[in-house]
């Protein structure tokens, strides 16, 4: 932090030691053909960087990307929204463009990401056109190269997030305004109105960019001194009114929607705002804290979200970080000058969407500041280049300065590209953050449609990513332990080849129960590229469905009773037979919405007397009783470690009761045992005999419950 402040101070001092402004006039202008070739080359290079391997770098595809695709498909099927509510909560204009891309390029996440890559690529030439008006040509080219290879910009150019269109429309709007103010031609103001209207209907952060345009107007009008300010400003204001009129006319549908549905329209921004009372953040302390964390994210500690960054790594490389600090210093020394005032205003204003929201620092919501950051980097390069080259009286000194400039830009670019393609998108955290396992599940299940009766864990059922692969009418059902183990013969369709269960990895512990019912059942564990378990599948062949081995399954397992409160009060909301205590209660219907309490009670038939070891994984306060004696209790919440206890059991029938209070985020409980001289596994069905409803009701007053219950 101190180093950054020092660099800012140095930048300011360096500029003040110059007797004149650095200008393009100090260097001969390259031929137009040479510049055109460079611009084509750098744009093509930027495109390759942004388009290559979009199908697997980054892996999978986040919920938002899939949801955007589903919204666009709805438009292709006849929907005509002005605003997308529900999960998306954004104006609909961008999704019409996305729908067109899907129509032309075909269905798939590569198309969604391709639209982002296209906007990211087109940002480069527009940036160059503006930078060329400010910087000497070597600095313009070097800065454009840095932006083309910027890890920050590449990250959001390669995912299907709407935010990446922001920098493109910001640059295009400023270019139109600049050309309009210089030439006083109406056409550029009309184009400004169109570009602004489109930008305002893409992502919320662009809503603040008109403030940057206002800074540009004031700065431009005062560039020849304040005495001529009014004379310069008046013709701009008249034409600017036309641009505003064009913007308003094009935005009438979304304005009308916002006026009629203000809560829906502003829901997204208000939900993440730091002043939202739901976040319980100290005000105004959180504001100063967010300002600090976002200023530090460039050089000290970056965004911790693996979708946005290598967690906590600065979003700029060290070379860019130094150049930004120097550029800030030189720009602050000319804070009232044109166009340096614009860079400063842009930097401050477009950081606000990140500063004023939760989860700081936020590289995603700060994407609108990317052009300003690289213009400031250009200012840093400009002052250093001019100092290094002097007045350039000798060709050798000029050549050395130019070569050094490009060497620095290529070195910084190479580092960013290496970090992105070799580290950021290959990290296990990126696999998790982009929900790649859900994509693997959808791809795995799809070929089984209409061949097997498919039952999936509630975590994977009806989730947008799986739906993206399977479609709305895919024949599969939600797996519920009490209802589908074993499957009722009435639910098995005769034309199917068998059953397919797709479950969470922890549910592999239930396989002994499946095997006891279906002797030819097969378990497969699916792993990600890092060797971690993603999901399991259990396939049951048709032959095992003809005649079940056991007879009456209603007389096996536990009696479960569940209460929609934290103290087992009143009558149970649900009572049912459960094959095992093996739950992940992330779905509100399996078992109840949190918090809840529950009891599982069964008579255990012991054939071999001896020491029985139990293993309990529980994420909430739990008590276990054996023959009405408490043998284990815990008050810990969200502990992932298995907890062990043992009991001595004689031959015969024993009462086993487990009482559980669900107040956790992990929402998991699983009970297994290890009989004498045997391995640890889920308690078999044939030794469990659930209590009747009356037996449980008589037992309730005597049960031992966790100490933390209310």
pLDDT in tens, 405-449: 999 999 999 999 999 999 999 999 999 999 999 999 999 999 999
* CATH class of residue range 553-702: alpha beta
DSSP 392: -
Question: What's the CA gap between 129 and 120, in Å, rounded?
Answer: 15
Band (487; pLDDT cuts 50, 70, 90): confident
Question: What's the CA gap between 186 and 402, in Å, rounded?
Answer: 39
pLDDT for the residue numbered 25: 41
Supply angle C-alpha 557, 558, 560, rounded to 5: 140
Domain with CATH 3.90.182.10 in the chain: 553-702
Question: What's the CA gap between 562 and 596, in Å, rounded?
Answer: 7
pLDDT for the residue numbered 494: 86
Main-chain phi, psi angles of 483, to 5 degrees: -100, -25
Write out the E strands in 402-464. Answer: 453-456
Band (394; pLDDT cuts 50, 70, 90): low
Band (545; pLDDT cuts 50, 70, 90): confident
pLDDT for the residue numbered 391: 57
Spell out the alpha helix ranges (H) of 106-164: 109-131, 137-148, 151-157
| Number of alpha carbons in the 13 Å side-chain half-sphere of residue 625 | 20
Band (42; pLDDT cuts 50, 70, 90): very high
- Say what the pTM is: 0.90
Instruction: Name the CA dihedral angle for 125, 131, 132, 135, rounded to a multiple of 10 degrees.
Output: -150
Is the pLDDT reported for residue 28 higher than 80?
A: no
Closest CA to 228 of 237, 238, 240, 220: 220
| CB-CB neighbours of 232 under 10 Å | 17
Whether residue 366 contacts residue 341, with contact meaning beta carbons closer than 8 Å, is answered with no
Span of 124-138, 161-175, 338-352, 548-562 with lowest mean pLDDT: 548-562
Average pLDDT in the 51-67 region?
Answer: 95
Q: Mean pLDDT: which of 171-180, 270-279, 472-481, 539-548 is highest?
A: 171-180
Give the total residue count for the chain.
710
Average pLDDT in the chain: 92
Please tell me the chain's helix, strand, coil percentages from 3-state DSSP, rounded to the nearest 5.
55, 15, 30
Cβ burial, residue 92 (10 Å; 0-12/13-18/19+)? buried
Average pLDDT in the 307-312 region?
Answer: 98
Band (15; pLDDT cuts 50, 70, 90): low
Is the pLDDT reported for residue 97 higher than 70?
A: yes
Is the pLDDT reported for residue 588 higher than 80?
A: no
Instruction: Name the CA dihedral angle for 318, 320, 323, 327, rounded to a multiple of 10 degrees.
Output: -140
Average pLDDT in the 343-364 region?
Answer: 97
Buried b or exposed e, range 644-680, using 16+ CB within 10 angstroms: eeebebeeeebbbbbbbbbbbebbbbbbbbbbeeeee
Supply angle C-alpha 132, 138, 143, rounded to 5: 70
Which residues, 6+ apart, have CB-to-CB distance to 683 below 8 Å?
A: 580, 604, 671, 672, 673
Residues in a beta bridge with 563:
597
For residue 218 the two structure tokens come to 């004031």
pLDDT cut 70: percent of the chain above it: 94
Question: What's the CA gap between 17 and 333, in Å, rounded?
Answer: 11
Main-chain phi, psi angles of 583, to 5 degrees: -130, 150
Which residues, 6+ apart, have CB-to-CB distance to 270 below 8 Å?
A: 276
């Amino acid at each position: 932090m101190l180093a950054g402040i020092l660099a800012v101070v140095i930048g300011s001092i360096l500029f003040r030691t110059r007797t004149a402004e650095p200008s393009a006039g100090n260097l001969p202008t390259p031929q137009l053909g040479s510049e055109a070739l460079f611009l084509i080359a750098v744009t093509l290079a930027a495109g390759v960087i942004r388009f290559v391997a979009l199908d697997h770098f980054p892996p999978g595809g986040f919920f938002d990307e899939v949801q955007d695709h589903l919204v666009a498909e709805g438009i292709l099927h006849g929907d005509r929204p002005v605003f997308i509510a529900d999960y998306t909560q954004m104006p609909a204009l961008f999704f019409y463009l996305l729908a067109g891309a899907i129509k032309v390029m075909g269905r798939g996440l590569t198309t969604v990401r391709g639209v982002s890559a296209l906007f990211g690529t087109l940002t480069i030439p527009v940036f160059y056109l503006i930078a060329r008006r400010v910087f000497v040509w070597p600095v313009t080219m070097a800065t454009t190269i840095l932006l083309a290879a910027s890890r920050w910009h590449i990250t959001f150019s390669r995912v299907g997030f709407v935010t990446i269109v922001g920098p493109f429309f910001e640059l295009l709007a400023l270019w139109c305004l600049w050309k309009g103010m210089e030439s006083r031609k109406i056409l550029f103001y009309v184009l400004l109105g169109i570009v602004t209207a489109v930008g305002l209907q893409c992502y919320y952060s662009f809503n603040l960019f008109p403030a940057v345009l206002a800074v540009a107007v004031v700065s431009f009008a005062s560039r020849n001194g304040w005495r001529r300010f009014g004379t310069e400003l008046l013709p701009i204001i008249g034409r600017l009114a036309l641009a505003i009129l064009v913007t308003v006319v094009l935005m009438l549908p979304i304005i009308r929607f916002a006026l009629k549905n203000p809560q829906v329209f502003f829901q997204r921004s208000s939900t993440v705002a730091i002043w939202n009372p739901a976040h319980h953040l100290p005000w105004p302390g959180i504001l100063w804290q967010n300002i600090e964390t976002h200023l530090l994210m460039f050089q000290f500690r970056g965004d911790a979200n693996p979708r946005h960054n290598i967690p906590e790594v600065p979003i700029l490389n060290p070379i860019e970080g130094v150049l930004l600090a120097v550029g800030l210093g030189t720009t602050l020394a000319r804070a009232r000058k044109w166009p340096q005032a614009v860079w400063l205003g842009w930097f401050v204003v477009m950081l606000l969407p990140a500063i004023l929201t939760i989860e700081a620092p936020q590289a995603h919501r700060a994407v609108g500041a990317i052009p300003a950051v690289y213009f400031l980097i250009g200012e840093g390069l400009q002052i250093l280049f001019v100092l290094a080259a002097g007045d350039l009286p000798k060709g050798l000194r000029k050549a050395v300065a130019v070569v050094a400039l490009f060497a620095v830009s290529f070195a910084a670019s190479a580092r960013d590209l290496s970090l992105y393609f070799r580290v950021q998108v290959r990290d296990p955290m990126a696999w998790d953050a982009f929900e790649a396992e859900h994509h693997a599940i959808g791809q795995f299940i799809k070929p089984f449609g209409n061949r097997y009766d498919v039952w999936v864990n509630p975590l994977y059922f009806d989730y947008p990513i799986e739906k993206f692969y399977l479609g709305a009418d895919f024949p599969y059902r939600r797996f519920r332990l009490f209802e589908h183990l074993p499957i009722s013969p009435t639910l098995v369709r005769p034309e199917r080849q068998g059953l397919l269960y797709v479950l969470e990895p922890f549910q592999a512990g239930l396989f002994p129960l499946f095997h006891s019912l279906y002797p030819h059942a097969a378990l497969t564990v699916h792993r990600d590229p890092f060797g971690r378990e993603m999901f399991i599948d259990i396939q049951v062949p048709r032959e095992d469905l003809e005649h079940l081995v056991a007879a009456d399954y209603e007389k096996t397992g536990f009696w479960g009773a569940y209460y929609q409160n934290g103290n087992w009060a009143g009558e149970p909301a649900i009572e049912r037979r459960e094959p095992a205590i093996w739950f992940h209660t992330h779905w509100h219907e399996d078992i109840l919405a949190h918090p809840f309490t529950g009891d599982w009670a069964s008579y255990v038939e012991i054939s071999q007397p001896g020491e029985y070891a139990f293993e309990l994984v529980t994420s909430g306060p739990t008590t276990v009783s054996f023959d009405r004696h408490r043998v284990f209790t815990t008050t810990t919440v969200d502990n992932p470690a298995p907890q062990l206890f043992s009991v001595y059991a004689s031959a015969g029938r024993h009462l086993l009761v487990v009482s559980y209070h669900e107040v956790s985020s992990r929402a998991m409980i699983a009970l297994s045992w290890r009989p004498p001289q045997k391995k640890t596994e889920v308690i078999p069905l044939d030794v469990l005999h659930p209590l009747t409803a009356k037996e449980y009701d008589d037992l309730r007053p005597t049960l031992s419950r966790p100490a933390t219950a209310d």
